[in-house]
Every structure is written in C-alpha cells, then in structure tokens.
C-alpha cells in the first residue's frame, strides 16, 4: 500500500497504537508459516525494529522540514536582493521624474526690463555661455551646442568654428570691390 504524505501521520499513529498487530504481520511475512505463536524474543526484536524505523523516519522528517525552511528563507533573501536593486534604481530615477519643469527664461519686449514678457514655454536646454534655460523656439544651435539669441550672436562673431574660410581668391575679389 503506497504511503502518501498527508496520510503518513495516520499510518505512524496506527503502527504505534497497534504495535502487537504490526509485529504479528511482520513475523508472518518473515516466517512464512504463520502457525506458530510469536515468542517474546521475536516480539522484542520486531518492536525494536519498528521503534528504530519510526525514529529514523522522524529524524528524516525533521531534516526535511529544516531543509524546507532553509529553502524558503533562501527564496526570501533572493526576493529581498531583487527588491533592493529595484529600490536603488528607483532612487536614481525618481529625482528625474519629480524635478520641476523649468520654464524658458528668455524675455521679449523693449530694451527696458519693466515691460519685458518672459517666454514661459518649457525649457529643453541651457545656453552654453550664460546658462539661461531656453525652449525649443528660443534655442539656436551652433557647433553642436545650444545658445540663446544674444550668446549665439557673440559666439558666431568671436569663437565659431564654422566661420567661412577665406581663401586668396575671395580676398582678391574683396580687394577689387573695395578699389572700385
């Protein structure tokens, strides 16, 4: 008869409650005749074997339960490590998500600051020279960098790498224009 895990405690209880009947069954199987009554020695030997087997089983059951607890703790530790990594990643990303949207700081209007109107659109970059927050429409790009209008003009005049190269032919043409 196969023993299933959920019925195992019942089987152990039956063996321990009816040890004489189990000893008789074991004795019949070993002897094969079943006609002789068991002696005290065979009964003692069978009872000792039954106790030894039950003790070994209980020890194995204890070891199995302990191994199961260790496995469950190991699984929880793995889950905690995974959660810790996710929390660390969120710590890096959260400030980027919470950061306030900066508005474009370029002001339009007359030369006097009193009646100037700020652009106010969401800024997407900062001017390389002055650090002013600028939106897509107010941004001017040159040499791979973003500039506001004033800094762009200065950049093109003084430090732009894209200035047209004047070769000798174009210089002669300029000189002839000036002479005429």
Q: State the pTM of this model.
A: 0.35
Angle between helices 40-98 and 8-17 (to 10 degrees): 160
161: CB partners within 8 A, 6+ apart = 143
Q: What is the mean pLDDT of the chain?
A: 75
What percent of the chain shows pLDDT beyond 90?
Answer: 15
Q: What is the pLDDT of residues 143-164, one digit of tens each?
A: 888 888 888 888 888 777 665 5
Q: Which two tokens stand for residue 22?
A: 């189990």
Token pair 């990594």 in the structure block, residue: 85
* pLDDT tens-digit map of 61-88: 999 999 999 999 999 999 999 999 999 9
Tell me the domain boundaries of the chain: 5-98, 107-179
CA 55-57-60 angle, 5° bins: 110
Helix or strand holding residue 145 (H, E): strand 145-147
CA distance 4 to 17: 19
């Amino acid at each position: 008869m196969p023993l299933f895990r959920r019925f195992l405690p019942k089987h152990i209880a039956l063996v321990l409650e009816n040890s004489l009947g189990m000893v008789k069954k074991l004795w019949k199987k070993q002897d094969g005749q079943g006609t002789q009554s068991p002696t005290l020695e065979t009964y003692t030997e069978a009872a000792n074997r039954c106790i030894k087997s039950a003790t070994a089983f209980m020890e194995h059951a204890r070891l199995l339960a302990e191994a199961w607890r260790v496995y469950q703790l190991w699984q929880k530790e793995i889950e905690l490590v995974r959660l810790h990594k996710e929390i660390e990643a969120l710590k890096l990303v959260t400030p980027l998500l919470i950061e306030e949207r900066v508005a474009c700081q370029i002001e339009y209007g007359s030369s006097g600051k009193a009646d100037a109107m700020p652009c106010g659109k969401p800024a997407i970059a900062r001017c390389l020279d002055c650090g002013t927050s600028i939106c897509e429409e107010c941004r001017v790009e040159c040499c791979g960098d973003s500039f506001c209008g004033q800094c762009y003009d200065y950049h093109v005049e003084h430090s732009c790498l894209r200035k047209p190269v004047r070769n000798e032919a174009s210089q002669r043409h300029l000189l002839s224009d000036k002479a005429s």
